[in-house]
């Protein structure tokens, strides 16, 4: 009866929570043992798939009939005063909370699209901000769209000028506003916020407007959780529909990383009449949590006047661009040919020993750390190169490479592994700690602390501290014991690399295909590189990865059909 619910070929490994939730509900039905077993399997499947990133599951007529007979499923949730735990909408089964997120998000965006902003002499303003001699016609059209709409999505690959375009939009809107607009800039992670802040600062200087207008464009970028006012450990925020944000305009970068729940809560927290601009690459990995919001919204039928895709890359070309496009369009043979040929030298398969090569790339930053250089120089040197893996465990995984690289560096006497913490140890925070302003994905480096000296500038105290660079460029230091749960980060997962850029990226795939390996994962890894990509993978695994596509089950696109 429930065989049609299967969305993957491998058997599911239901968690204890999946099982407990299903049994909790089945005990509240009047089913016989066989019916309870079938009901529990459907509910466990829904709970499991939600944890895999789907906001709902598809069901057949038999499953629908059984679910409705349980008395725990609402077929018309909008009319239900006391919502039931499960929702059926068309052929989709939701946990009620995720139906509510999806439904509210769609309703709020639809309401925002009804508001238009006719602007006189807009073309003259656009002509000043966008010089056609620089071939920025697509950026001009994106700005024209965003200026007229309360809700806008600007999507495009790396180097297409999303940030530069939105800075011009902010300046243009400030010129048009009778009173200065109160603007918030946000991103899903601290790394993404730092990158956006750097880009905004550089772009403002080039604007063809007065200093007064430039000064109205904020440079401080915050994470979405800080913007909304997270209340850990609860899933709630200080800002919501009852206590909205004060901003007239909110800009969110790297919106592909924003999951369904967080996006819905952001829309809830916007004040009436506020604008929202989402920036991101719809072809990148979807969020780790449920939903594929940016991709779904970008393809929604009734939102096409609110979405603009930038296609011309202004800094991202050559073999890296060719490889990214081949992977994105699932042209596996062409992608492998580009790698095999070496292109312009920017992309190639690694023909050296993996661990020896990775260890060699750490020499510069470890030397700077040993010499007691300033943290900014050490961090910049470390951030030049990064190993990106698809998996956390197993051969050629994050755990495997981090362990083997540490051992190799210890053999070479470049680090001292006599203790957990050593000078030069790079770490990634894996647990949010708002009190310390440290968040999942933040990267720091362990170094001896230093104090100012009139004679030599800095003198080491010998005490080990962990240094982090904040989004505003400032540096914070913490005792290792105070740092939230973290892990060594000579290698990181591709998921964790979202929102980052590196001069050179080494992409390492496992020896056998697995469900994690998809063209979106590989595309995301490729587009983290600015200059060079090296790959460790067999042809069979590489081509299978390019052929495998993420298919998330959601109902969001259907909610925007005419």
Residue 53: inside a domain, yes or no? yes
Domain boundary pick from 258, 286, 315? 315
Q: 311 and 245 in one domain?
A: yes
- For a pLDDT cut of 70, what percent of the chain falls above it? 93
Q: 60 and 144 in one domain?
A: no
Q: 132 and 68 in one domain?
A: no
Are the CB atoms for 429 and 441 separated by under 8 Å? Answer: yes
Strand order in the sheet with 443-453: 475-478, 457-469, 443-453, 426-429, 486-488
Structure tokens given for 412: 């070479």
pLDDT given at position 133:
62
Residue 31 confidence (pLDDT) above 80? yes
| Mean pLDDT across 462-489 | 88
Distance CA 217, CA 171 (A): 7
Place of tokens 């089913």: 31
Count of domains forming the chain: 3
Q: 228 and 148 in one domain?
A: yes
| Mean pLDDT across 175-194 | 90
Tell me the angle at which helices 162-176 and 122-129 cross, rounded to the nearest 10 degrees.
140
Average per-residue pLDDT for the chain: 90
345 in a labelled binding site: no
Q: 377 and 309 in one domain?
A: no
Query: Which among 55, 73, 80, 46 has a CA at the least distance from the CA of 264?
Result: 55
Query: Which among 253, 162, 167 has a CA at the least distance from the CA of 208?
Result: 167
159 in a labelled binding site: yes
430 in a labelled binding site: no
Residue 256: inside a domain, yes or no? yes
Categorize the per-residue pLDDT at 22 as very low, low, confident or very high, splitting at 50, 70 and 90. very high
Q: 325 and 311 in one domain?
A: no
- For a pLDDT cut of 90, what percent of the chain falls above it? 71
Strands (E), 125-228: 151-156, 183-187, 221-223
Cα-to-chain-centroid distance, residue 558: 24
Residue 9: inside a domain, yes or no? no
Q: Taking the model in full, what pTM does it have? A: 0.88
Residue 65 confidence (pLDDT) above 70? yes
pLDDT given at position 11:
56
Per the model's pLDDT, the better-predicted residue between 158 and 45 turns out to be 45
pLDDT given at position 343:
63
Task: Annotate 289-330 with DSSP letters as a single string.
Answer: SS--HHHHHHH-GGGGGGEEEE---SS--HHHHHHHHHHHTT
- Residue 123 makes CB contacts below 8 A (sequence gap 6+) with none
pLDDT tens per residue across span 158-179: 888 899 999 999 999 999 998 9
pLDDT tens per residue across span 501-550: 899 999 999 999 998 999 999 999 999 999 999 999 999 999 999 999 98
Distance CA 106, CA 116 (A): 18
Q: 149 and 48 in one domain?
A: no
Residue 561: inside a domain, yes or no? no
530 in a labelled binding site: no
Per the document, the length of the chain is 562
pLDDT tens per residue across span 69-99: 999 998 877 765 668 999 999 999 999 999 9
Residue 457 confidence (pLDDT) above 70? no
Residue 7: inside a domain, yes or no? no
Task: Annotate 248-288 with DSSP letters as a single string.
Answer: SEEEESSGGG--HHHHHHHHHHSPTT-EEEEEE-TTS---S
Are the CB atoms for 327 and 173 separated by under 8 Å? Answer: no
| Other residues' Cβ atoms within 10 Å of the Cβ of residue 212 | 10
Categorize the per-residue pLDDT at 136 as very low, low, confident or very high, splitting at 50, 70 and 90. low
Residue 8 confidence (pLDDT) above 80? no
Query: Which among 541, 389, 521 has a CA at the least distance from the CA of 405?
Result: 389
Residue 166: inside a domain, yes or no? yes
337-373 burial string, b = 16+ CB within 10 Å, else e? Answer: ebbeeebeebbbbbeeebbebbbebbebbbebbeebe
pLDDT given at position 7:
32
Q: What's the CATH code of the domain at 486?
A: 3.40.50.300
Q: 560 in helix, strand or coil? A: helix
Q: 417 and 340 in one domain?
A: yes
Q: 448 and 330 in one domain?
A: yes
Q: 347 and 376 in one domain?
A: yes
Q: Exposed, middle or buried, 522 (CB in 10 Å: 0-12/13-18/19+)?
A: buried
Residue 195: inside a domain, yes or no? yes
Range of the domain at 275: 121-315
pLDDT given at position 428:
94
pLDDT tens per residue across span 206-258: 899 999 999 999 989 988 998 999 887 788 999 999 999 999 999 999 999 99
538 in a labelled binding site: no
pLDDT given at position 445:
96
β-pairing verdict for 385-389 and 502-508: parallel
Query: Which among 367, 355, 353 has a CA at the least distance from the CA of 402?
Result: 355
Q: 66 and 147 in one domain?
A: no
Distances in whole angstroms, Cα of residue 135 to Cα of each of 206, 315, 499, 555: 16, 13, 26, 38
Query: Which among 318, 388, 361 has a CA at the least distance from the CA of 528?
Result: 388
Q: What's the CATH code of the domain at 38?
A: 1.10.10.1020
pLDDT given at position 257:
93
Residue 102: inside a domain, yes or no? no
pLDDT given at position 134:
60
265 in a labelled binding site: no
162 in a labelled binding site: yes
- Intra-chain end-to-end CA distance of the chain, in Å: 33
Distances in whole angstroms, Cα of residue 529 to Cα of each of 502, 546, 548: 5, 18, 22
- Residue 234 makes CB contacts below 8 A (sequence gap 6+) with none
Domain boundary pick from 291, 315, 339? 315
Domain boundary pick from 60, 95, 130? 95
Measured over the CA atoms of residue 321, residue 324, residue 325 and residue 331, the dihedral's sign is positive
Distance CA 213, CA 233 (A): 40
Place of tokens 């495997």: 400
Are the CB atoms for 463 and 212 separated by under 8 Å? Answer: no
208 in a labelled binding site: no
Distance CA 167, CA 164 (A): 5
Q: 400 and 481 in one domain?
A: yes
């Amino acid at each position: 009866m429930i065989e049609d619910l299967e969305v993957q070929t491998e058997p599911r490994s239901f968690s204890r929570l999946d099982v407990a939730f299903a049994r909790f509900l089945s005990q509240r039905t009047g089913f016989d043992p066989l019916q309870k077993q079938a009901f529990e399997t459907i509910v466990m499947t829904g709970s499991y798939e939600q944890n895999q990133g789907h906001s709902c599951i598809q069901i057949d007529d038999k499953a629908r009939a059984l679910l409705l007979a349980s008395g725990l499923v609402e077929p018309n949730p909008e009319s239900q005063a006391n919502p039931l735990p499960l929702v059926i909408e068309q052929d989709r089964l939701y946990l009620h909370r995720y139906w509510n997120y999806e439904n509210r998000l769609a309703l709020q965006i639809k309401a925002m699209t009804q508001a238009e902003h006719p602007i006189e002499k807009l073309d003259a303003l656009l002509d000043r901000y966008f010089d056609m001699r620089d071939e920025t016609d697509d950026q001009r059209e994106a700005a024209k769209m965003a200026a007229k709409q309360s809700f806008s999505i600007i999507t495009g690959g790396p180097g297409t000028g999303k940030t530069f375009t939105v800075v011009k939009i902010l300046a243009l809107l400030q010129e048009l506003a009778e009173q200065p607009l109160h603007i918030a800039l946000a991103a899903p992670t601290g790394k993404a916020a730092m990158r956006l802040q750097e880009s905004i600062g550089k772009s403002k200087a080039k604007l063809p407007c007065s200093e007064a207008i430039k000064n109205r464009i904020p440079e401080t970028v915050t994470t979405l959780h800080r913007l909304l006012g997270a209340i850990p450990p609860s899933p709630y925020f200080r800002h919501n529909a009852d206590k909205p944000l004060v901003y007239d305009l909110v800009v969110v970068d790297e919106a592909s990383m924003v999951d369904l729940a967080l996006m819905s809560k952001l829309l809830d927290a916007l004040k009436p009449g506020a604008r929202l601009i989402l920036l991101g690459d719809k072809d990148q990995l979807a969020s780790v949590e449920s939903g594929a919001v940016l991709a779904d919204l970008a393809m929604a039928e009734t939102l096409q006047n609110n979405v603009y895709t930038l296609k011309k890359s202004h800094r991202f070309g050559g073999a890296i661009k060719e490889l990214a496009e081949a992977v994105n369009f699932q042209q596996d043979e062409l992608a492998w040919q580009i790698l095999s040929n070496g292109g312009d030298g920017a992309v190639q398969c690694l023909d050296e020993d993996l661990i020896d090569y990775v260890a060699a790339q750490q020499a510069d930053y470890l030397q700077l750390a040993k010499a007691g250089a300033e943290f900014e120089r050490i961090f910049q040197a470390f951030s030049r190169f990064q190993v990106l893996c698809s998996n956390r465990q197993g051969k050629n995984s994050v755990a495997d490479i981090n362990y083997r690289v540490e051992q190799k560096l210890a053999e070479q006497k470049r680090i001292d592994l006599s203790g957990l913490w050593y000078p030069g140890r790079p770490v990634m925070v894996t647990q949010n700690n708002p009190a310390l302003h440290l968040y999942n994905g933040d990267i720091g480096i362990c170094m001896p602390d230093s104090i100012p000296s009139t004679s030599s500038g800095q003198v080491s105290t010998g005490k080990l501290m962990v240094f982090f660079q904040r989004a505003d460029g400032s540096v914070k230091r913490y005792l290792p014991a105070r740092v939230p749960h973290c892990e060594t980060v000579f290698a990181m997962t591709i998921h964790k690399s979202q929102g980052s850029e590196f001069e050179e990226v080494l992409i390492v795939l496992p020896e056998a295909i697995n469900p994690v390996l998809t063209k979106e994962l590989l595309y995301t890894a490729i587009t983290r590189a600015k200059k060079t990509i090296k790959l460790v993978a067999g042809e069979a695994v590489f081509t299978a990865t390019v052929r495998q596509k993420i298919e998330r089950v959601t109902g969001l696109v259907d909610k925007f059909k005419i």
